[in-house]
Structure 1
């Protein structure tokens, strides 16, 4: 993946709205807290929200600037600079990835990082299928890329963001998935 996330974050004081993702909040509102991994945690709004709900949160992001901003927002979180593919990680009750370019072969590692009964929540903008990236794990290709060991649900969600770079995107796809018990 050829992204310069450090330049992206370092080039401005604040990129995103500073608020947790409303679709993530709605999806997890009644899930009892445990351990959580936020892949591509950015400036930490979701990390902070998860922590405030009682989760023990680990956040990762390839940008050191983003991690510094997350640390300022939620010093209680465990934070690492790097990508999901390159970091050695533990296991979690919840894995969250919002608008993150996960490699299309990330499914095996995602499964290995989930505790029994754990949940994967993947959020992406809805793209017309002819524009949807095929090199990444996305809600539209998750059944194919994650495989039959997962119970997967994809729903279309509206969102309302008033500030930050993502404010022009109004339609999201929310994927929630769990590994079937016999597949672990």
Structure 2
């Protein structure tokens, strides 16, 4: 009888660990469809579009920085950049589930901020994992300048979009 309790506990823990690990494994999806040739982000419409060479492959509703109007100019301004950039990195250990980096600031962004004695900021990502109670699909803007989607959506985007893919961000 004394061995039954530890055995049940071991089975329970084994099951819990297996469930936890299988959940982690689902974070990294595979994608075998058409190549994503560019991303288009329309801030005013809160819409991210993934284009292929012949058609739109996928669209996603998004959330933006807490002060979304206008082009990001300085660190801490809460704006999401506007202009031409590329996806330049990915973070599988992101605090926001998964994330892919946008190449902000470019040289012009840095020069503008530097001329005013300020930092342009950086670390602009498309990411999931909104803080509790915030749903990026309801168009509420809560990031510090990043682009927010749901965890499931960033899993798709992370699998579909490769580093070096251009992204155009419109007002």
What is the TM-score normalised by the length of structure 1?
0.23
Q: Which has more radius of gyration? A: 2
Higher RCO, Cα 8 Å, sep 6+: 2
What is the TM-score normalised by the length of structure 2?
0.25
- Structure holding more helix per residue: 1
